[in-house]
Amino acid sequence: MKYPIFILILLLIPFSLAICEDTDSGKDKYEYGLVTDNEEIYKDTCTDDNIKEYFCSMDDIATYSILPCVNGCKDGACQLANEQPIQMAPEEDNYPNLELYLYIIALVVIIGLYIYFFKIKRKKHY
């Protein structure tokens, strides 16, 4: 008799785990959306000319990004416009100067190798 209860519990485990759901299907700043995670509801909201856009992460956890709204934000969504944007703003740029940093690191490594092989190593042979 214990086995049917055990099997029933195993079958119900996936339904008891929290699932993250997003009504606007991810990062869509032009559509108002709600994210539900662990019975908590998070709403896309305007903050000045930016939007706090909620979405489900790869781990099914509610998270958000602050994204710019070039033509303003209203009712939890960025506004579209037929005319030119008020200002030019990049989307989300998490690593603004990553290429510059990589070039600098490569340059430092090359200079370090040059100094080691042509300056320090030569002195050891004499």
pLDDT of residue 90: 57
Together in a domain, 48 and 30: yes
Mean pLDDT, rounded, for 21-32: 88
Among 9-13, 100-104, 115-119, name the one with the lowest average pLDDT.
9-13
CA 96-93-105 angle, to 5 degrees, is 30
Name the strand (E) or helix (H) holding 55.
strand 50-56
- The first and second tokens of residue 101, run together, are 């940093």
Instruction: Tell me the per-residue pLDDT of 81-109, one tens digit each, with 9 for 90 and over.
Output: 765 555 555 555 555 677 888 889 999 99
pLDDT of residue 15: 46
- With respect to residue 7, please indicate whether it lies within any of the assigned structural domains: no
pTM, two decimals, is: 0.51
> Is residue 123's pLDDT more than 80?
no
Closest by CA to 45, choosing from 61, 29, 58, 57, is 29
Together in a domain, 43 and 72: yes
Together in a domain, 72 and 86: yes
